[in-house]
Amino acid sequence: MAVREARPLDTLEETVSVGLDRDGLLRLQRDLLLTRALEERGSTLFKQGRLPGSFYTGRGNEAASVGVASAMGPDDVAAPLHRNMGVHVARGAEPWRLLCQYMGRDGGATHGRDSNLRTQDLDLGLIAGVSHLPGILPTAMGVALAFRLRGEPRVAVGWFGDGSAARGDVHEVMNMAGVRGLPIVFVCDNNGFAYSTPTTLSYGARHLADRAEGYGFDGVVVDGTDVLAVYREARAAVEKARAGGGPTMLELVTLRMEGHAIHDDAAYVPPELLEEWRRRDPLARYDTWLRAHAGLTDAEDDALRAEVAAVVDDAVARAEASPWPDPATLLDGVYAPGR
């Protein structure tokens, strides 16, 4: 059961065989474009002083996020992190509410009490990431354990990074999930850096997914810039978990194309590395694939891009119209109500 390296998908027939018809392929394109457009706009808003705090992007990680989330079922539960805007987008989170969350407005999930992607919508099967990494993974496993105990055919998906992978809770969670054969998929966004720490200083194995074998389940290394390969591997892992086959670890290999957050110019990332990965941009790559294999026309592509631009403009307007939270409500939800 050695770790497997996923191969790319070459033909339209193959995408259909893994559950993606042409509409599904275009939906992926829309979600990729929307994810990037929202993050680009968020960066601009920050620089204009219209988005307080900080801003994190998952540039380079859009295909990894959208690919996994699109392969999940509607009743499954995702526990994404700060690089995973695409997970929120693909599961149908409203863009204006995501911006409200970043902008500290009342319309955000925490009503201005937090920022970043610490936003959740249980109706969409999205639970909020927590700052302590990878503190959300034990929660995701608890969700999977609950599904098992209740006999529900649902799957939990938990995200973590290459830096977080060095923490003890990752090992404890993977061990327990393996022992119990829980319906969970572990997604490691291996984006080359944990803040300024390169992966050469984070782990000594060839692949992070090599670890899966030690816990008794499968590990797959996937090119995280290839949305179709990510989708296929995620779908196989999710359906395997749903059928009682236990966990899978997906290692999605990308490069973090921007700084840790907007304050960080990432001067420690070698320019030639960035250049190499810029040539593998996940959006450009998928656009090329769609034109070559699914007959994407200029008109269709333009229409999708126009739709996305309109959604983002509307999201900004609605977020800026959302009130600041009322200071009188500051402590609401912080303490349990007294008896």
Ligand X SMILES: Cc1ncc(C[n+]2csc(CCOP(=O)(O)OP(=O)(O)O)c2C)c(N)n1
Total residues in contact with ligand X, by rule CB under 6 A = 15
Nearer to ligand X, 57 or 120 (CB): 57
- Residues 60-89 close enough to bind ligand X by CB under 6 A: 83
189 lies in the site for ligand X, by CB under 6 A: yes
254 lies in the site for ligand X, by CB under 6 A: no
Give every CB contact of residue 297 below 8 A, 6+ residues apart in sequence: none
163 lies in the site for ligand X, by CB under 6 A: yes
CB 54 within 8 A of CB 116: yes
Least distance CB 82 / ligand X (angstroms): 6
Identify the residue among 30, 113, 240, 256 touching ligand X (CB under 6 A): 256
249 lies in the site for ligand X, by CB under 6 A: no
Least distance CB 172 / ligand X (angstroms): 14
Give every CB contact of residue 170 below 8 A, 6+ residues apart in sequence: 134, 137, 160, 164
250 lies in the site for ligand X, by CB under 6 A: no
Binding letters toward ligand X, positions 164-183, x by CB under 6 A: x-------------------
Distance CA 174, CA 255 (A): 24
Distance CA 128, CA 130 (A): 6
7 lies in the site for ligand X, by CB under 6 A: no
* H-run or E-run covering 108: none
CB 69 within 8 A of CB 90: yes
Distance CA 34, CA 32 (A): 5
Identify the residue among 28, 63, 64, 133 touching ligand X (CB under 6 A): 133
Interacting span for ligand X (CB under 6 A) from 95-103, 126-134, 172-180, 276-284: 126-134
Beta bridge partners of 187: 159, 250
Binding letters toward ligand X, positions 272-311, x by CB under 6 A: ----------------------------------------
Interacting span for ligand X (CB under 6 A) from 62-70, 109-117, 121-129, 185-193: 185-193
Identify the residue among 62, 76, 162, 218 touching ligand X (CB under 6 A): 162
Distance CA 299, CA 281 (A): 22
Instruction: With CA atoms as reference, report the closest residue to 228 among 277, 288, 187, 300.
Output: 288
Beta bridge partners of 186: 158, 249
Least distance CB 136 / ligand X (angstroms): 11
Interacting span for ligand X (CB under 6 A) from 17-25, 64-72, 161-169, 237-245: 161-169
Instruction: With CA atoms as reference, report the closest residue to 42 among 90, 92, 104.
Output: 104
191 lies in the site for ligand X, by CB under 6 A: yes
Give every CB contact of residue 205 below 8 A, 6+ residues apart in sequence: 211
Beta bridge partners of 222: 252
Identify the residue among 75, 195, 332, 333 touching ligand X (CB under 6 A): 195
Q: Which residues bind ligand X (CB under 6 A)?
A: 83, 131-133, 161-164, 189, 191, 193-195, 256, 260
